[in-house]
Each structure stands twice: as structure tokens, then as C-alpha cells.
Amino acid sequence: MCLEENFIHASVVALFAKRNPLLNQFNTLLRRCVEGGLGEKYWAQMKHEARLRSRRKSDEVSNSVYFVFTLSHMGLPFSLSGFGCVCNTIVCIAECCHKHFNK
């Protein structure tokens, strides 16, 4: 799926001092690049290369759309969740003890 509309807009700014001798040359070069479609050419080339890369990757990957998670894959998230619960319990006990002894 590809979006044909432009959703990224970028601007370029070049600052020159007044009466800079490079200003006219820069304006002429920039106008020629824009009128010649240089930006659109590079954008089309970049999209074409991205399509080729994605097609190459999809050829390398099997046709399976889904990946089955097993318990060995979910071990780390469950361990981190358990560690968080233990830390939370310790903090709650410490707060209760602190309030009880500081009355």
C-alpha cells in the first residue's frame, strides 16, 4: 500500500547578507533545479528503491503472516512484570512503615 499524497513538507532556508555576490548565482541555480524537476526525480528514485528493498525482503521472508509467540518468547516480559510487582510491594510496605513509625 502506498500513499500518493504528500504528507511530509520541508522547507529550506539559505541566508545571505545584502549584496552578497553569490546570491544571484544561488537563486539562478535553485530556480533551475526546481523548474527542472530535480526534487521530484530524487523523490521518485527514493520511492522506487524503497519498493525494490521491500519486495526483496518480502521474497526472503516466508509467506506466513503470523508469528506464534511461545512461553519462551514471553519469558522476559513476564519476568520484568514480576520484578515490577515485587518492587511495588516493597515500596508500599516501606511507605506504610514510614507513616506508622513517624506518628
Using CA atoms, how far apart are residues 95 and 103, in angstroms rounded to an integer?
13
Residue 65 reports pLDDT greater than 70: no
Q: pTM to 2 decimals? A: 0.37
Predicted confidence (pLDDT) per residue in 13-53, tens digit? 778 888 888 888 888 988 888 888 888 898 899 889 888 88
Task: Determine the residue type at 75.
Answer: G
pLDDT at 63 over 60: no
pLDDT above 70 for 84: yes
Sign of the CA dihedral running 78, 80, 83, 84: negative
How remote is the C-alpha of 102 from its chain's centroid?
Answer: 49
Report CA Rg, the chain. 30
pLDDT band at 81 (very low <50, low <70, confident <90, very high): very high
